[in-house]
Structure 1
Amino acid sequence: MTPSARPPDPLTFEVVELIGAVVNRYREEYEEAAGKHGLTGAQARVLRLLSIEAAPMRRIARKLHCEPSNITGIVDRLEARGLVERRPDAGDRRVKLAAVTDEGREVASQLRESLDFAREPLSDLSVEERTVLRDLLRRMLGVD
């Protein structure tokens, strides 16, 4: 058996299972919070991204790992609710950017504030422990 084909040791297996449980709980809470605002989880994720910066559909699709045509439909529905708008890109007027409206920014902020799942358990950790956890997660993801 090659080293890369070895089954994970029990500690690694437990860590992977715990990460999966955290991800599942976060998704469940995110979907619930989105639903309270009449949004799907996908719509909420797009709204969150756009609350950071306006972006073309392709960039949103890349960040969310889906097809641009899916993002177009999501943006259409968000636009119909007045949460986002399309505007020309100042650098290339052929490109349309999806941008959050003031109402969309408020909904995105309310969504962010309602996500207690991660905040509550993290508040039980010291600043040093949260720093170590952040640094380990960044290292695992290859983020500097």
Structure 2
Amino acid sequence: MVLRKDERARDGPGPDDYPDHLFRWADAVGRRLNHEMRELAPAHLVAIGGRRSRLLQMIPVDGMRVTDLAHRSAVTKQAIGQLVDTLEAQGLVESGPSEGDRRVRWVRRTAAGDRVVEETLALIEAAQDRLRAQVGARRYDVMVDTMRELGRDVTW
């Protein structure tokens, strides 16, 4: 059964009623990848959450200043401080004064944080493999290369 446009409007907007531009599709692909991740993720990774997991991935092995982590993640120092506190309470990072400057708060991953990063990266790879299988390796790889090129020089 085909609905007329006025009949579709009563049920809310349909997919063809949304603007067709890059913002829509970039957001949709992000939601799709998150969905794939949730389907594959064990409960302990779901509990950590995507935002905290991505933050863990941004912390280098030797650690970094919380201020630099805020800049790298494009959020406020206060927000990063709260996220670091949460990760520290979960045993995934440790923070304290920098050896070189005691006024600077330094954060580094713990061994448990390193394991979460390894698990998350493997999970991301598995989710990407599912998407790659759906559209074909060549098309998927071209999309990723294009996204890298378009986002490469973006600074926050």
Taking the TM superposition and a 5 Å limit, the aligned residue runs for 1:19-98 are: 19-29=26-36, 33=41, 36-37=44-45, 38-50=47-59, 54-98=63-107
Counterpart position of 1:125: 137
Q: Normalising to structure 2: TM-score of the pair?
A: 0.65
**Is the alpha carbon distance of 1:99 and 1:65 closer, same or farther for their aligned partners in structure 2, counting shifts above 3 Å?**
same
Q: Is the 8 A contact 1:57 1:71 kept in 2?
A: yes
Amino acid at match of 1:40: G
SS in 2 for 1:143: coil
The number of aligned residues is 131
Counterpart position of 2:151: 141
Amino acid at match of 2:44: K
Amino acid at match of 1:118: Q
Moved over 6 A (4+): none
Q: Is the 8 A contact 1:34 1:40 kept in 2?
A: no
**Which residues of structure 2 form unaligned runs of 5+?**
1-18
* Identity within the alignment, %: 24
SS in 1 for 2:91: coil
Quick check: which one's strand share is greater? 1
User: Partners in 2 of 1:30 and 1:51 — Cα distance?
Assistant: 23
Which range moved further: 79-88 or 33-42? 33-42
User: Partners in 2 of 1:31 and 1:55 — Cα distance?
Assistant: 29
SS in 1 for 2:137: coil
Q: How far 1:67 moved relative to its partner?
A: 1.5
CA offsets per residue over residues 23-53 of structure 1, 9 Å max, x none? Answer: 1222445567486332133221211212555
CA offsets per residue over residues 86-133 of structure 1, 9 Å max, x none? Answer: 14435434312110011110011112212333232225313x862x33
**Which residues of structure 1 form unaligned runs of 5+?**
1-11
The alignment's C-alpha RMSD in Å is: 3.1
Counterpart position of 1:17: 24
Counterpart position of 1:113: 122
Greater Rg by CA: 2
